[in-house]
Every structure is written in structure tokens, then in C-alpha cells.
Structure 1
Amino acid sequence: MGLRTATAVLVGRAVRVAARLRGGGSAIPGNIALKIDPGFLERTIARIPDGVVAVSGSNGKSTTTNMLAAIMRQHGLTVFTNPSGGNLPQGIASALLSEVSVSGRLDSDIAILEVDEGYGTRLAELLKPRTVLLLNIQIDQLNRYHEPDRVAAMLGRVAASATEGLVLNREDNFLVDLDQRIPARDGRAVSFFGGVPALVDAASHGVASADRFGDSTVAPGSRPAAVEVVALEGARAALDIDGTLVSVKLPARGMHYALDAAGAAAAARSVLGDRFKPELVTRALDTLETVYGRGELLEVEGEQIEIIMMKNPASLQLNLDSLEGAPEQVFMAVDEGTPDPSWIYDIDFSALDHVDGITGSKAWQFAVRFGYLGIPVGSVDLDVKAALKAFLALPAPTTGHKVMILNYEQMMLIRKILGFKELEGGGQP
């Protein structure tokens, strides 16, 4: 295997350099490495001393993986993690290429890996996670998953693969009793995270969990939580961790981000045991950079622009709910990465009083919806560069900053157009 692994690493790295020179992110380097050495990913990850933490769910995977990796680093661990979006086998393999030796050795104590729901079962077989953190099950990518029940079944198999720890969101009606619906495993500890009822109830549309009918006697919010969101103000939250209160900075406003932080803290607590120090959660999250497009603020020509990514109905609704008043200037871009946007007819758009411009191949579908709602649209232009140029040419807002609401593919394209060419891995967001 030595020569095959060395060849996979060297060829994969060469392809990765070529991808960087083109200014794009790609799973192709990992794909090629795995074709040369099919066991490269499995064998490399298996050598990591503290094993794998798998993070999955419909929304919040990238943000929570980023948070958890930061918490682990504050505890002194060397962490390998996949970049946001690189949550398929080839994306993880691409991320490995920049860090492994030619012999396939990885100098890390632990792997914190975002895992795509659809590939979760296969990745669990390959990576054999010691700990699994599941965030939520929401209406997501109906072209891939069809029904939330199918996602629940897939994530149930991922949960069952955890050997030492399973961390679940007690506010999600699919996850609140998942531990009771999978085979028991000796030595596996189950813990929960959540929020106090007043905060969950105060969210305009709750926490956007998908409906589950008739087969559960356990109510969301009813399980005891090791980590609980107890206060939320703007982009800061207070977490109760086993009776210790800590304050943390969130990537952006919203209860969904606070629950991501609680999930990350709960997973760190599960993995580290007696080594876990709640105060290091504050230190980690207060200095953490935002993941691409998840409440990110970009500075363009002296102006700050907030990037809000909409991946599915839940992410769009929760981000709209978290806006502090209708933005003075707002721009939307949606393309074929959202194959069937008919779900927008279930979205409450009352947080917006207008949209300055819409672009992308699905622009007219959104414009029609806004027309029915009586929300004025300044312009619709399918030429993304021209539409973006017109929006940026607007005078700076008198209050707040420009806001862009983008699907994943348009978010990556527009960041590149604006000159932000950092790589993301090749997978689903």
C-alpha cells in the first residue's frame, strides 16, 4: 500500500494546486486520490488517536463543525477537519491531501468531520466515529431525500455507528427519542442539548423541525440537557453547561446559531469527559471566524455586506426571522442549485418590505412570489455580474449594511466575483 498511497497523495496534491490556481474549490483531488488508493481515507483516519466525531443534520453542520473544532483546539488538541461543504468522501479526502505525509500519516489528535446525510451511512462504515452529533431534521433537498422520514432513517444508522458518545438535539421531534429507536450499544453515552422553553417558544417559527406524526410519545424539549441555551441577545448567547454559565459569541443573530453552539459544547463535553472546561467554550467561540456565507460579513469597496445563505426552507425562514428589521438594501440570487423552489410559497417573507434586485436562473420564480405578496422588486436580471454590479452601485444604506440572500452555488460564485476565492471542499453544504 505504501507506493499506492504515496502516488495518491502526490498526484492528488498536484491536482489540488491546479485547482487553487484556477481559483476554485473542488472534490476532484480527493476523487483522484481515492481512485488510485481506495483505502486512503479509511486507513488515514483510522490512525488518529482520539478517533472521529461525525457532525450531521439538515442545517448547521458547517457552522457547528467549525465551532467544535475551535473548542477542541482550545483544549490543546490538534484537530483535522474538513472545510465547510467538503462533507462527502471525496471532499474529506481532498482536505486530507494538504495535511498528510506522503506515507499517509496525519499529525492530528482527533478528526471533527461534517458528514452529508445522504452519504452518512457509508461514511460511518468507513470512518467508524466514536462520537456522533446530530443537529436537526428539517425539510431539506426534496429532490435528494423526498421526505424527512428518509433523512431520519439515514441519520439513525449514523447514530447507531457511534461507539462512545451520541449527542442529540432535544428540541427536534425526530431526534428527541432517537436513542430509544436505534440498537443499544454497551459503553455508548447519550446526552442532549437544547434551549429553555421561553427562547424556543419565542422564535417566530420555532426551530423549524420537520413534522413527525403519530409515532412518538416523547415531546421535544422534554429530555434533560447537558448544555442549554438560557439567554439570547443579538449575536451572543448564554449557555448553561452542567450548571456553569458561559457567554459565547455567535456567527450571527438567531436561536438556530445558539443551538449550534450548544451542540458543539455538548459534543466537546461528551468527547473530553473530565478534561472538558466550560470556560474554554467562551474563549474558542469569541475568537472564531465565521464559515463562508453563514452570517458572514464581507467588506467590498469600503462597505460591509452580510451574506445569508439559504439552503432550504428551514435555513431561509430562520435567517429571515433573525433579521433586526427589514434591510434597507437586499439582494437575492438563486440558481439551479435550488432545483425546485416551489417551497418558497410556505415561507413567511414578512421580514422583508422590498427586494432591490434578484438574479440567477430561478430569479423569476422568486419575483413572482414577491409579486403575489405585494413585496416590491427593484429589478430582475439573469446576468449575475450585471445584477451584482447594479446592487453594489447603490448608495450605502443610511442604517445597517447591504444584505445578500443567496443559495449555496450563488454564494460561492458571488464570493469569487467579489474577489474572495478561498476554497471550499467538494460536497453538499
Structure 2
Amino acid sequence: MRYRLAVVAGRLARWLLRLRGGGSAVPGRIALAIAPKFLERSVSRLPLGVVFVSGSNGKSTTTNMLTGVLREHGLNVFTNPSGGNLPQGIASALLASVPLDGYVRGDVGVIEVDEAYGVDLATLLKPRASLLLNVQIDQLNRFFEPTRVVGMLRSIGASSSEFVVVNADDDSLSRIGAEFAVEGREVATFGVAPALIAASPNGLANVEDFSGAASGALPAPDVVVSELGARDAVLDVSGESVTIALPARGLHYAVDAAGATAMARRLLGDRFRTEAVARAMSSLRTVYGRGETLRVGDEDIEIIMMKNPPSLQLNLDYLEEAPEQVFVAVDEGTPDPSWVYDIDLSSLSHVDVVSGTKAWQFATRFAYAGIPVGSVFPELRAALSAFMALPTPSRGTKTMIVNYEQMMLIRKQLGFLDLEGGER
């Protein structure tokens, strides 16, 4: 009876909140308050269990890719599609499909988890496997230093009952993988051709591990990014090449695809087919805010999200050319934006509008870089109005560079209300 009440109350809250537009973790909070074991009960009957996806950057995109690949292979997959990767966000995602008995139907759960909360979630949800993407500079106000994140990801991997998939080109994760292999755990890896990393202006932006060589051998990558195009890439999957479409520009998106493919290959075993990967990637819907293009009136708006220094730098590195019209918005979701002084901004020729509570700090940084700023509007609505009033660019696309919180507000103000969850 408790679980039925949790589902009904959570769904009612979800419906009421969606009437005002956007999503929220509130329905999940309500469900968990009524039935504290709602999460573990809901996924306990999935035949193929639960797979975790975690790391500093790329979690939402990789979760989306892995889900698409598994569905293309015919599996019924539960996932948290909006990036709600804290317990209440995952619970909110469950409310969209779980029956009144509280048991989600399907074959497997692919769940994006926050690095810190993932440790406790692993105890609750008992993942069969974990896909660990990278360790990068991220949320120092929460994590203080990357070494803590390494420990968190190691704990998530150690809690996986069957196997772990790690990024062989991330120093920290390759060390974890080698340690797991020595312990007798099953480890699979993915990576990138060295020439592609060398050609990237800032490499993969992963944190370097100076603690010395790992003890033990890391298995050779099952999946390698061997070629990179403007919007596609070639993956070498154990000697078989497959060309895939990418949701946005950049080597980092190809790395995410390699990680998703490596996990799918290990999870599916003999059922895995590279042609299914290509089909899934060609029809994939971009995760909102991550290289997404919105159609507003007769204009396209490309959303580039800057969650942290690596995500901003890599996205700037792979701009095809300086954007014709640029909007930048940053608020308190980025508590200390001083890291922007370490970013190479040379791919920007100007910025039309800067907004958010950190607007003047970013405008100052642009001034130091010699990048002209058209206007500064700390209030978002006024800033959006000014930016949208600009003539349609000759290349047809406006560019917005925003942090997570501003991205959510912008989508809502532009009329895009299809959000679930809403927590990173």
C-alpha cells in the first residue's frame, strides 16, 4: 500500500509541476518520503540488473547513447533521461513509467549517477556494472580536489557485482582499472587513437595522475576512436570499424560514444552488433543543453553548456569558426567563476550579450582577453529579449554559452518545457 501511495502522490506532484512548465525533483522527494525504499524496490526485478554511468563530464550524453544502443538491440531500458542523477531525480524519472506496484518493467536500468551520491546509490541499487568516464576539474566547491572524485569513482566501481568499464586514456581511471584487474575483477576499457589526442588543442582535459605507474596491466581497449570528423567518428570495435554520427562537435563526444559502445558490447555479449550502434547513433536525440539546437521562430539557437573548465574548453576548441552571434549567461550555479581566466577564449571574436549574476565577472574576463562585449544585462529576461532581437545571423545560427542553471531557465523562457528531473 505504501508504494502505491508513493507512486500516486509522486505522479500527482509531477503532473501539477508540469502544468507550470519544466520538471522537478520534487515528485521524487515526495515518493521517497512516503516509501524510503522506493528506489531499490523499483529496479530489483530487472533481469539484466542496473548499470551505472558516472564521471566528471559526459554522464548525461553517454547515458543517452548507451540507452539508445541497447534499445536498438531490442532491450527495454529504464533510464533517467534528463540528467537528474541524485536520488530524488532518479525517483522522479521512475515515476514516469513505474506501475502502481512500484516495480519498473523492462530488461535493464541505465542510470546516470552523481559521483558523490553514486557511492550510496550503489549500496541501494546494487549495480551489475559501472561505466567510468573521466576525472576532470569540476565543482571544486563540492569536491575540493579531483583526488576525492577518484576515490568516489573507485568506490562506485568496486560496488559493481560483475564488471567495470573504464577510460584507458584517463590516468586516474586507468589506475583504478589496473588495480581492479589485479584484484581479479573483470575490467573492460575504451580509448582514443593517440594521434587524435595529440591533435586536440587541449587533449582530453582529464586530470593528470602524478602518483606513478599503476601496478598491474590494464586490458587493451575493446573500443577505440580511430577517426574524427566534424559531426561523425570512426570506432574500432575489436578490429571492426564502424562510422557513427555524433550529437555535437568534438572529440569528447566521440569518447562518450566509445564508452557507451564498450559497455553495450560487454553487456550484450554475442548479441552485440556494430551496425546497431551506427543505427542508434544516427537517430539519437541530443540530451537537452548538451550541444542541442533549438528552433525558435525562424532561427536556430545552439546551446553550449559550460558545466566546468574542461566542458567549456573542449566545446570552444571544436567550434568550426567564431560564432556570428554569442550570448553568455552564468549565475550562482557557478559559485566561483575565476577558473574562466584559465580558458583559451581565442575561438570567440566577440560576445553580443552577457547575462546572469556573474555577468560582470565574465564581461571583465572578456575585456582582459580583448574580446568586445556588446551589452551586459544581469537579468535574464531582458538579456534574452535583446539577444533575440538581433537580426538573423547570415549563417543562420545564434550561439548560447551558458551554465546548467541558466540553460534550464532559458529553455523554459523560450517555451521548451519538456524537462524531467532537473538536478545534475
- Normalised to the residue count of structure 1, the TM-score between the two structures is 0.96
1:84–1:114 contact (8 Å) kept in structure 2: no
Letter in 2 for 1:324: E
CA distance in structure 2 between the aligned counterparts of 1:12 and 1:414, rounded to whole angstroms: 26
Query: More deviation in 162-171 or 138-147?
Result: 162-171
1:41–1:93 contact (8 Å) kept in structure 2: yes
Q: Could you say if the C-alpha distance between residues 218 and 400 of structure 1 is closer, same or farther in structure 2, counting changes exceeding 3 Å?
A: farther
CA distance in structure 2 between the aligned counterparts of 1:317 and 1:400, rounded to whole angstroms: 24
Q: Could you say if the C-alpha distance between residues 391 and 218 of structure 1 is closer, same or farther in structure 2, counting changes exceeding 3 Å?
A: farther
CA distance in structure 1 between the aligned counterparts of 2:68 and 2:349, rounded to whole angstroms: 37
* Cα-to-partner distance string for 1:182-217 (whole Å, 9 max, x where unaligned): 58665x421111110111111100000013223334
- Identify which of 157, 160, 180 aligns with 1:159: 157
- Tell me if 1:377 matches 2:373: yes
Letter in 2 for 1:365: Q
CA distance in structure 2 between the aligned counterparts of 1:180 and 1:224, rounded to whole angstroms: 11
1:359–1:382 contact (8 Å) kept in structure 2: yes
- Identify which of 261, 270, 276 aligns with 1:274: 270
Q: Aligned residue for 2:411? A: 415
1:173–1:219 contact (8 Å) kept in structure 2: no
Matches within 5 A, 1:10-409: 10-182=8-180, 188-217=185-214, 224-399=220-395, 401-409=397-405
**Per-residue deviation, 1:176:** 1.2
2:44–2:103 contact (8 Å) kept in structure 1: no
**Per-residue deviation, 1:426:** 3.6
Letter in 1 for 2:298: G
**Per-residue deviation, 1:423:** 1.4
SS in 2 for 1:80: strand
* Cα-to-partner distance string for 1:23-72 (whole Å, 9 max, x where unaligned): 12111111111111111110111111100110000000000000000000
SS in 2 for 1:68: helix
Unaligned ranges ≥5, structure 1: none
CA distance in structure 2 between the aligned counterparts of 1:148 and 1:15, rounded to whole angstroms: 37
* Cα-to-partner distance string for 1:216-237 (whole Å, 9 max, x where unaligned): 34899x8621000111110100
1:12–1:30 contact (8 Å) kept in structure 2: yes
- Normalised to the residue count of structure 2, the TM-score between the two structures is 0.97
Unaligned ranges ≥5, structure 2: none
**Per-residue deviation, 1:86:** 0.8
1:55–1:61 contact (8 Å) kept in structure 2: yes
Q: Could you say if the C-alpha distance between residues 290 and 18 of structure 1 is closer, same or farther in structure 2, counting changes exceeding 3 Å?
A: same
SS in 2 for 1:192: strand
Q: CA RMSD in A?
A: 1.6
Structure 1 segments of 4+ aligned residues over 6 angstroms from their partners = none
2:188–2:219 contact (8 Å) kept in structure 1: no
> Equivalent pairs: percent with the same residue?
60
1:169–1:175 contact (8 Å) kept in structure 2: yes
2:180–2:187 contact (8 Å) kept in structure 1: no
1:88–1:426 contact (8 Å) kept in structure 2: no
CA distance in structure 2 between the aligned counterparts of 1:41 and 1:214, rounded to whole angstroms: 38
CA distance in structure 2 between the aligned counterparts of 1:102 and 1:71, rounded to whole angstroms: 28
SS in 2 for 1:123: helix
1:176–1:219 contact (8 Å) kept in structure 2: no
2:180–2:186 contact (8 Å) kept in structure 1: no
2:188–2:221 contact (8 Å) kept in structure 1: yes
CA distance in structure 2 between the aligned counterparts of 1:44 and 1:399, rounded to whole angstroms: 48
SS in 2 for 1:108: coil
Letter in 2 for 1:207: L
* Cα-to-partner distance string for 1:249-273 (whole Å, 9 max, x where unaligned): 1111100000000000000011111
2:178–2:216 contact (8 Å) kept in structure 1: no
Aligned residues: 424
Letter in 2 for 1:201: A
Letter in 1 for 2:115: E
CA distance in structure 2 between the aligned counterparts of 1:138 and 1:201, rounded to whole angstroms: 18
2:82–2:419 contact (8 Å) kept in structure 1: no
1:176–1:218 contact (8 Å) kept in structure 2: no
Letter in 2 for 1:36: I
CA distance in structure 2 between the aligned counterparts of 1:70 and 1:216, rounded to whole angstroms: 36
SS in 2 for 1:136: coil
